[in-house]
Amino acid sequence: MIGIVVVSHSPRLAEAAVDLAMIMVGENPPPVAIAAGAGEGVIGTDAVAVAAAIEKVASPDGVLVFMDLGSAVLSATMALEFLSTDIEVRLSDAPFVEGITAGVVLAAAGASLDEVDRETRDALNAKIGQLDRPTDAPAAASAAVAGESAAEEKLINPDGLHSRPAATIVKLVAGYDAKVSITDLTTGKGPVSAKSLIGIMSLGAKEGDVIRISASGAQAAEAVEAIREMAADGFGEVPAKR
């Protein structure tokens, strides 16, 4: 499991952001260390404290560092020069709260440093989607050459699309050349991008809900079928015989 480091000017901001993220994971949270403030009561950041936080959660799986702004970024880049460990450490350019939340959830789900880094960078997309504002993504470009596909499936696992199945879908979709979205037909929520962990979780899809998986792109049909199969299988969370 990768380690997460949170760098902020304010200890209260960092602690609250981590608390918020930890609500999303259960009994097996990833190692998280905070480096916030510059000594007693001083708003600021300290590169030496950042380096110490990185070493505290260091594992062979790597460490991802989230920063608020300004000197937090300078201190984190400087901290990399102080490290005595040779494990891989990356600085995330993800938005602070969204990035930490998605990062903690994905790390707990066992995602690799590459995956967590990539997914958290897109963590703002869930909010952009919710507000229904146009994104910069050239959506129409691939549709012309691509197929379209869709399927519906009833969720049978007791917890619905909670963090683990959501992370499984995100990981799976990454392997296909397709733009996939998911809608909860029972509640009318969505569609959300199947690349966005937070987006999928924001559906709040529960056992018994029918979801619609739709996709466009060269491997649209394959991607839809793969997700449909996993859903039909209850994401491996349904006891074999009741």
Partner 1 sequence: MTTGTVSLDQIVSWLSRFRDLVTEQRSYLTELDSAIGDADHGANMYRGMTAVMEKIGTAPAGAADELLKTVGMTLVTSVGGASGPLYGTFFLRMGMTAGGATTFTPTELAAALRAGLDGIVSRGKAEAGDKTMFDAMSPALSALDASLAGGSSLHEAALAAFAAAERGRDATLPLVARKGRASYLGERSAGHLDPGATSTALLFQSLADTFPEG
- Residues annotated catalytic, as ranges: 162
Spacing of C-alpha 163 from chain mean position: 9
- As to burial, measured by CB atoms within 10 angstroms (0-12 exposed, 13-18 middle, 19+ buried), residue 27 is exposed
CB of 49: closest distance to partner 1 in angstroms? 7
Nearer to partner 1 by Cβ, of 49 and 192: the residue is: 49
- Considering just the CA atoms, what is the radius of gyration of the chain in Å? 19
Q: Which residues have C-beta within 8 Å of that of residue 137, sequence separation ≥ 6?
A: none
With b meaning 16 or more CB within 10 Å and e meaning fewer, what string describes 125-147? bbbbbeeeeeeeeeeeeeeeebe
Interface with partner 1 includes 75 (CB under 8 A)? yes
Give SS3 for 154: strand
Beta-carbon-side half-sphere exposure of residue 83 (alpha carbons within 13 Å): 21
Interface with partner 1 includes 78 (CB under 8 A)? yes
Nearer to partner 1 by Cβ, of 39 and 188: the residue is: 39
CB of 48: closest distance to partner 1 in angstroms? 5
What tokens does 11 get? 């200890």
Nearer to partner 1 by Cβ, of 48 and 137: the residue is: 48
Nearest to 106 by CA among 31, 30, 54: 30
Nearer to partner 1 by Cβ, of 59 and 82: the residue is: 82
66/127 Cα distance (integer angstroms): 18
108/103 Cα distance (integer angstroms): 8
Cβ neighbours around 70 below 10 Å, total: 11
Interface with partner 1 includes 74 (CB under 8 A)? yes
What tokens does 180 get? 């996939």
Nearer to partner 1 by Cβ, of 3 and 37: the residue is: 37
CB of 65: closest distance to partner 1 in angstroms? 14
Q: Which of 26, 70, 208, 236 binds partner 1 (CB under 8 A)?
A: 70
Question: Interface mask (CB under 8 A) for partner 1, residues 166-205, using x and -?
Answer: ----------------------------------------
Interface with partner 1 includes 80 (CB under 8 A)? no
Interface with partner 1 includes 139 (CB under 8 A)? no
CB of 82: closest distance to partner 1 in angstroms? 9
Contacts (CB under 8 A) with partner 1, residues 10-69: 37-39, 42-49, 69
Which residues lie near partner 1 (CB under 8 A)? 9, 37-39, 42-49, 69-71, 74-75, 77-78
